[in-house]
Amino acid sequence: MKNITAVFLKQVKETFRNKAILIHFVMFPVLVIIMENAIKLENMPEHFFVKLFAIMFVGMAPLICMSSIISEEKENNTLRVLMMSNVKPFEYLIGVGTYVWIMCIIGAVVFAVCGGYSGKDFCVFMLVMSVGILLSALTGAVIGIFSKNQMSATSVSVPVTMVFSFLPMLSMFNESIEKIARVTYSQQMSLLINGIGNTDISVENIAVIGVNFLIAVVLFWGVYKKKGLE
């Protein structure tokens, strides 16, 4: 536990000094506050920007932050020092993962407040966001482990985040894209968030998110077995 705490606290210390990571945690929450308060159009769905940016935030922030932190540590050889100091790979991943998850959950609370969710709706919103953040963080870990350095991590994580972040938005305008996007967890999250207060969680939502989760776990295990953490 002390090793996980050491890794977690290291990340906390770095929060305000690592601008590249910090911007991903704050960009969408700040944007949603501005947009929700600044733009009011006729016929615009209620809390349109909350629903739109929440999915983008989940598809982008945990994935990029996780892959960036791991790949930077690999590139700078600080990860090796941790491993040689009796920090187990799973302890490191839990430490970094917990940090990323908590930081994103703080962002998710901002979305929930801006969206005016309360009671059961708040809980459902936070549950959907939590699962999405976990899935994206796991995908980010796969990319981080797979990549040798930050440059290669970025070149993989950017297109992946584009798919998960933007497919739900594009689905609003194109039915064909919507059909394809339904197999991604981010689209299912978008459906869930848009349905809060109106529709219940469906079998399709759970099945697709479950399969996505399973794929991420299998990928994580495969990449970790092949590449390890160094």
| Complex with other proteins: residue 37 or 76, whichever CB lies closer | 76
The footprint of other proteins on this chain (CB under 8 A) covers a number of residues equal to 22
The one among 37, 76, 149, 155 contacting other proteins by CB under 8 A = 76
- Binding-site string for other proteins from residue 85 to residue 104, where x marks contact by CB under 8 A and - marks none: xxxx----------------
Q: Is there binding between residue 225 and other proteins (CB under 8 A)?
A: no
| Complex with other proteins: residue 3 or 130, whichever CB lies closer | 3
| Complex with other proteins: residue 130 or 152, whichever CB lies closer | 152
Q: Is there binding between residue 40 and other proteins (CB under 8 A)?
A: no
Q: Is there binding between residue 9 and other proteins (CB under 8 A)?
A: yes
Q: Is there binding between residue 13 and other proteins (CB under 8 A)?
A: yes
> To the nearest whole angstrom, how small is the minimum distance from the Cβ of residue 76 to other proteins?
4
The DSSP annotation for the chain comes to -HHHHHHHHHHHHHTTT-HHHHHHHHHHHHHHHHHHHH---TTPPTTHHHHHHHHHHHHHHHHHHHHHHHHHHHHTTHHHHHHHTT--HHHHHHHHHHHHHHHHHHHHHHHHHHTT--HHHHHHHHHHHHHHHHHHHHHHHHHHHH-SSHHHHHHHHHHHHHHHHHHHHHHTT-HHHHHHHTTSHHHHHHHHHHTTTTSPPPHHHHHHHHHHHHHHHHHHHHHHHHHTT-
> To the nearest whole angstrom, how small is the minimum distance from the Cβ of residue 104 to other proteins?
20
**Contact footprint for other proteins (CB under 8 A):** 2-3, 5-7, 9-10, 13-14, 17-18, 76-78, 80-82, 84-88
